[in-house]
Amino acid sequence: DLEGAEAGYREALAIQAGVGARSAIIPRLNLGLVQSARGDHAASRTTLEAALPVLAREGERRLLAAAHACLLPSLASARDGVAFDVHYASATELLESTSTVEVDVASAAERAGRLWRSAGDQQRSRVSFALAHAQWTALKQEIQAKALEAFLR
């Protein structure tokens, strides 16, 4: 239940932020993911963008890579191609340099691809699907990877 998950992450974030816990970043990231999965892309964008400077400051490169990638559906939903290109470049560089492979990254990239496809932006759709395909393949999720191959031609 995504609504229940969102409420739980909000509560965890409030508690941890209230005591100054460094770990408050994890509930923030999870909240952004749930908001995106629910289709609340504006809220997800705000939540995930707020996490980026904290992750960068703390040197959390793997989480930073995932956060950039998980922003992609929000940017696609907003049709913000300039921001998408910036975050896509950051995500792919960090994912590669940290060898990060995550289901959340694959899912987010796939959602971004579908959003760009519906908007008629074939180039951004294709790079999103390529990122999703690479992640699904690395995760050995052959069914998900195979399902994207048609979009990569």
Q: Is the dihedral of CA 49, 34, 89, 111 positive or negative?
A: negative
Q: Residues 103-143: pLDDT tens digits?
A: 999 999 999 999 999 999 999 999 999 999 999 999 999 99
The C-alpha atoms of residue 28 and residue 51 are separated, in whole angstroms, by 7
pLDDT: which is higher, 61 or 9:
61
DSSP 56-113: HHTT-HHHHHHHHHHTHHHHHHTT-HHHHHHHHHHHHHHHHHHT---HHHHHHHHHHH
- Give the chain's mean pLDDT: 91
What digits encode the pLDDT tens for the residues 55-95? Answer: 999 999 999 999 999 999 999 999 999 999 999 999 999 99
pLDDT of residue 24: 77
Those residues whose C-beta lies under 8 Å from the C-beta of residue 65, and which sit 6 or more positions away, are: 90, 91, 94, 95, 98, 100, 105
- Mean pLDDT of the region 10-23: 57
pTM of the model: 0.86
Which residue would you say has higher pLDDT here, 20 or 83?
83
Say whether pLDDT at 10 is over 60: no
Q: How far is CA 135 from CA 27, 80, 120, in A?
A: 23, 23, 24
* pLDDT at 104 (0 to 100): 97
Cα distances (Å, whole numbers) of residue 73 to 70, 97, 113: 7, 22, 8
